[in-house]
Structure 1
Amino acid sequence: MEMKLKDNLSRLPDNTAMKQQQLPACHFHFSATRILTAFFAIGALCLVMGIILILSSKSAKTIEINYTKICANCAKLQENAFNFDKECTCSIPFYLPEKMQGNVYMYYKLYGFYQNLHRYIRSRSDSQLLGIDIKNVEDCAPFEKSHNGTPIVPCGAIANSMFNDTIILSYNLNSAIHIKVPMLRSEITWWTDKYVKFQNPSSRNLSNAFAGSTKPLYWSKPAYELDEEDPGNNGFINDDFIVWMRTAAFPTFKKFYRRLNRIQHFTEGLPAGNYSFNITYNFPVTSFQGEKAVVLSTLTWDGGSGLFLGFAYTVTGAMTWLVLFSMIAAHLMLKKRKTFFLQQ
């Protein structure tokens, strides 16, 4: 009996404040006034932020031109998807009513193009895009090899469907003088994409590094010749290629294409006046009933001209105040009922 008692005592936790759960505790007791004040402050903050974001977004200047129907003749030549034998160029004049001050950015916009399909997103080779093994195409179905068994570089459905229209912006001083607006294709990607997720093979000569491979089926030139003007912008680190490889979540999306080089006539931005887009039409959209547009836009301190964030803050603030007023009404009713019972 004594042995059993000793065994039971040995199993007891130590007589300390921690193990006996005797540590001092703090219990918060919020009064109705404090809770209602907190809800009021949060709602007010969200409403103010929402209004500021909406006004800021509206201050951004944006012009969008849908050129699907305007370049309809070119679209007819592209009935067979990515038909490079029948290249077509169309010119789209437009008028800029007011100056676009500061940095101006050009985007291409696609309607009805779904990049968020699982098989589409998975059809790529990360080891290839990192320059580790460019012949690794096992995850790139159905665009891993050509008809004669040569590995495709870069392989996969995403790379194969890369947007390849060429868009040139011209400033028309008069009917005779057309100035090509200087645009830059550098610094249009995320830093992590450019210097971490995409790397060329270690070989100094890219054409040698890509030997024994072939270009994607719908490309007009191999990856190491994507940029004829800047040899350092070729291969897997080509800016246009990297931008396209970051897939969009929704079927209607726009992607960074160029940014204004603020020199000569454009040091302060794009002046008001007559302009034109000269577009080499390569990317077909009629096969999936899609559309294409080109967008010129300035940016604000909080980003582009999207109103979603501003509306989100405004709705959150309004809902918080709605809950606040409901809580005030419930609190007054309970207080009135409590007073009534105390008087009985």
Structure 2
Amino acid sequence: MEKPFEYDKSRQPANSAFKQQKLPGHYLRLTATAVLSIFFTTGLFCLCVGIILILSAKSTKKIEVNYTKLCADCHELRDDASKFRKACTCSIPFNLPEKMKGNVYMYYKLYGFYQNLYRYVLSRSNAQLMSKNIMDVHGCDPFKMSEDKIPFIPCGAIANSMFNDTIILSYNLHSSEHIQVPMLKYGLTWWTDKYVKFQNPVSSNLADQFEGSAKPPSWSVPIYELDRDDPGNNGFLNEDFIVWMRTAAFPTFKKLYRRLSREHYFKEGLPAGNYSFNISYNFPVTRFQGEKSVVLSTLTWSGGDSLFLGLVYTVTGALTWLSAFAIMAVYLMLKNRKENLSL
């Protein structure tokens, strides 16, 4: 005869309000006044923030010089495979009508360059960039190894297509005197990129650590010679390289290239006057029917001159107010109908 089922009281939940689900229930009942107050307050907040952000973005100073057509001779030279290794420089004069006060930043801007393609974004080796295994070229197709089966460092399509124009800004102090504007090439990257995602091999001589590797096909120098003036700005920690490796979301984008060193004539920023860009033209754009520019810009507490965030807040606030008015109209209409029916 089977034994009757015995309940294991040791597993019985404690007789508490929480475990026995006896907590008091609360039903949220919002009145029309409370709902409308929330909508109007939220809309007002978004409108105020949006207007402040737009005014802040409008207060930035910016000048952009598109040098694709201005350097037409270099443009043709870079597309001629037989002359690919010949140097080509061009000088582009421009006028700065107003003084740029405070910190000034130089960007390069590309039009029509798709860094967001799926295979392009994946074409890199994070293990290599973090120096966990510098010979690891897994996932770097189609730029993994040279024809002699020597691994590329750095490998991948992103690294191979690195922007390599050299841009120097000159100031016409007098009609016959031109001085080079001092620009800083450090402090350009995100902290996490500089100190977490990119690391050099632990060695006093990078050339020895990268021995047995090849430079990417489109590079003119190996990675340990990217900056011959500053040994600390070489290898995977080169800031121009790190900035380029953070891929852009849209085909038209700009990346930070240099920062103004505020000294001598430029303590307060860039004075108004005549300037020129001296550009060493290396990065070809006709292959993808693109263009490139140099941008000088100031920043505010909210960032650069982009109106996107301000417009988002403004539109959100306006739609919230429209919704509030619509809710109020429906509420008044139903209230009046109820009062008429009760008469």
1:23: Cα distance to partner? 1.4
- Contact 2:123–2:141 (CA under 8 A) maintained in structure 1: yes
73-82 vs 62-71, greater mean Cα deviation: 73-82
Name the structure 1 match of 2:296.
Answer: 296
Separation in structure 2 between the aligned mates of residue 243 and residue 10 of structure 1, nearest angstrom: 62
The reply to whether residue 158 of structure 1 matches residue 161 of structure 2 is: no
The alpha carbon displacement at 1:81 in A equals 7.1
For residues 223-268 of structure 1, the C-alpha deviation after alignment (integer angstroms, 9 at most, x for no partner) is 0000011000000000000000000000000000000000000000
Report matched runs for 1:226-305 at 5 Å: 226-305=226-305
Asked if residue 57 in structure 1 is aligned to residue 35 in structure 2, the reply is no
Letter in 1 for 2:122: R
* Cα distance in structure 1, aligned partners of 2:103 and 2:238: 22
**Preserved contact between residue 81 and residue 284 of structure 1 (Cα < 8 Å):** no
Q: Give the superposition deviation at 1:174.
A: 2.7
Superposed, 1:60-139 pairs within 5 Å as 60-80=60-80, 84-139=84-139
Name the structure 2 match of 1:209.
Answer: 209
Per-residue CA deviations over 1:149-173 (Å, capped at 9, x if unaligned) read 1111001000000000000000012
Instruction: Output the CA distance in 2 between the equivalents of 1:123 and 1:83.
Output: 29
Output one character per residue of 1:188-233: Cα deviation in whole Å (capped at 9) or x when no partner.
0000100110000112110000100011100010100000110000
Query: Is the CA contact 2:77–2:84 (under 8 Å) kept in the aligned structure 1?
Result: no
Moved more, 10-19 or 74-83: 10-19
2:306 paired residue number: 306
Counterparts of 2:82 and 2:290, CA distance in 1: 14
Relative to structure 1, the CA distance from residue 167 to residue 8 in structure 2 (aligned partners, 3 Å threshold; closer, same or farther) is closer
SS of the equivalent of 1:292 reads: strand
Q: 1:207 to 1:307 in 2, by over 3 A?
A: same
Q: Structure 1: which amino acid aligns with 2:342?
A: L
Alpha-carbon separation, structure 2, partners of 1:161 and 1:81: 17
| Structure 2 residue ranges without an equivalent (≥5) | none
Aligned length, in residue pairs: 341
Letter in structure 2 aligned against 1:56: S
Structure 1 residues 22 and 283: CA distance shift in structure 2, 3 A: same
Contact persistence 1:82–1:284 (CA under 8 A)? no
Residue 13 of structure 1, CA deviation? 7.0
Give the structure-1-normalised TM-score: 0.95
CA–CA separation in structure 2 for the residues paired with 1:15 and 1:246: 57
Q: 1:174 to 1:12 in 2, by over 3 A?
A: closer
Residue 218 in structure 1 maps to residue 210 in structure 2 = no
Amino-acid identity (%): 65
Report the secondary structure of 1:86's partner residue. coil
Q: Tell me whether 104-113 or 165-174 shows the greater mean CA deviation.
A: 165-174
Kept after mapping to 1: 8 A contact 2:184/2:258: yes
Give 1:38's aligned residue.
Answer: 38
Distance 1:333 1:82, change over 3 A: farther
Counterpart contact for 1:60–1:298, Cα < 8 Å:
yes
Change (3 A) 1:146 1:83: farther
Deviations 1:26-85 (A, max 9, x none): 222211101101110100010011111111100000000100000011000011579651
Relative distance call for 1:150 and 1:16 in structure 2 (3 A) is closer
Residue 10 (structure 1) shift: 11
TM-score relative to the length of structure 2: 0.95
My pick for the range that moved more, 132-141 or 320-329, is 132-141
In structure 2, distance between residues paired with 1:167 and 1:12: 75
Instruction: Flag the 1:37–1:282 CA change in 2: closer, same or farther, 3 A.
Output: same
Distance 1:11 1:294, change over 3 A: closer
Range with bigger deviation, 15-24 or 272-281: 15-24
**Structure 2 residue identity aligned to 1:106:** M
RMSD (Å) for aligned C-alpha atoms: 2.0
The alpha-carbon distance between structure 1 residues 81 and 57, as it changes in their structure 2 partners (threshold 3 A), is farther
Residues 69/82 of structure 1: CA separation in 2 closer, same or farther (3 Å cut): farther
Q: What secondary structure is seen at the aligned counterpart in 2 of 1:136?
A: coil
CA distance in 1, matches of 2:337, 2:139: 69
User: Partner residue of 1:323?
Assistant: 323
Matching residue of 1:172: 172
Aligned partners of 2:104, 2:287: CA distance in 1, in Å?
32
Distance 1:85 1:127 in 2: 32
Q: Contact 2:123–2:139 at 8 Å: present in 1 too?
A: yes
- Check conservation: 1:299, 1:305, Cα contact below 8 A: yes
Output the amino acid matched with 1:136.
Answer: D
CA-to-aligned-CA distance 1:90-144 (integer Å, 9 cap, x gap) = 1000000010000000000000000011111111111110112111112111101
> Structure 2: how far apart are the matches of 1:78 and 1:299?
34
Within 2, Cα distance between the matches of 1:54 and 1:169?
30
Secondary structure, aligned partner of 1:214: coil
